[in-house]
Amino acid sequence: MDKKDLKKMNLTPIEDLIEEDFGAVGTAERDQFEMECDVFVIGEQLKNERLKAGLTQEQLAEKIGTKKSFISRVERGHADIQLSTLAKLFRGLGRQVRIRVLF
């Protein structure tokens, strides 16, 4: 559905709501929001893969040589981690990380 169709149905496009709350694409506030969304998604993906693997946070932490509290912070999106750490986390779950830069 495009914006016209949504407005005919008296619905507001999600992009308009995000822009209203966090600013236009390219603003500092919007960039911060999008970065936080990305971190949240990565944390959720890690949690889902850990659960699929049947591991607790503590078991994953032991497997990769870190603490349970670190795994918890990453899964909640409260840890700023390096790419090497991200790869290590997913390798501990038997997964690979691939990064794709979009232009």
3-class DSSP state of 4 = helix
75 or 5: which leads in pLDDT: 75
Quick one: fold of 10-91? 434 Repressor (Amino-terminal Domain) (1.10.260)
Q: What is the mean pLDDT of the chain?
A: 93
Above 80 in pLDDT, residue 1? Answer: no
pTM for the structure as a whole: 0.79
Check residue 50 and give its pLDDT. Answer: 96
Residues above pLDDT 70, as percent of the chain: 100
pLDDT tens readout for residues 55-99: 999 999 999 999 999 999 999 999 989 999 999 999 999 999 998
Check residue 4 and give its pLDDT. Answer: 83
* All structural domains of the chain with their residue ranges: 10-91
